[in-house]
Amino acid sequence: MMKAPPLIYQPPATDPLPVLYQDEALLIVNKPAGLLSVPGRLPEHRDSLLSRLQAIYPDALTVHRLDMATSGLMVFARGKESHRALSIAFEKRQVHKRYLARVLGTPDASGLVDRPLITDWPNRPRQIVDHDIGKPSQTEWQLLSSDGETSLVKLTPITGRSHQLRVHMAEIGHPILGDQFYGTDASRVMADRLCLHASELGLVHPVTGAPLSFETEALLF
């Protein structure tokens, strides 16, 4: 694994904002790759999906994040009550997420990666496997298709650690294409973006209690 490259931030345009669903309690948004979920610490990193949403929906609040390089479905709370309910749902693992990824090589038809993760502090935000003090981390995968050189897989995170899917797939020898943190020399140059997309999101509405389910396609890979 290589040291994390410096962040070069060139956020894509979102006009109009990719809001797939909205009501008085929440927003479902399809985040594009290359856009921060929330503002960064530096002035040049203040532009984010959250800041763009709050320009239109001032009560929008964050309950989870996607990596800048990852695209796909996110839920934002509207107001403190909804934020509290959705935060509890995430904490109790009551929000169901699945991802599509294109990886190097051909993994088995399905399987479970169970390797504990911890932040590599000298090289943060990079994560590493540590069997002594790492936090429990599990990811299920399912092979959808393969051309022999690369494969499309569905990934289901059982836990929600930072960079979990990226580290786990690299650890079993099938790094996600375009991953500049955890990829091989070959996989890093096989795509011009990280081929990871949050494609499915299921949750219970924080006010009505109705089940909600959303799905999007990863059009670029």
* Residues involved in catalysis: 67
Q: Are 98 and 199 in contact (CB under 8 A)?
A: yes
Residue 82's φ and ψ, nearest 5 degrees, are -65, -40
- Amino acid at the residue 30: N
What are 138's two structure tokens? 């599990």
Tokens 């081929």 found at: 195
Instruction: Round to whole Å and give the CA distance between 78 and 128.
Output: 35
Which long-range contacts link 48-57 to residues 24+ away (Cβ below 8 Å)? 48/11, 49/14, 49/74, 50/76, 52/14, 52/17, 53/17, 53/19, 53/27, 53/29, 56/17, 57/22, 57/27
Distances (CA, A) of 32 to 13, 14, 182: 9, 8, 21
Q: Are 113 and 139 in contact (CB under 8 A)?
A: yes
The contacts of residue 162 (CB under 8 Å, 6+ apart) are 117, 119, 125, 127
Instruction: Round to whole Å and give the CA distance between 16 and 118.
Output: 38
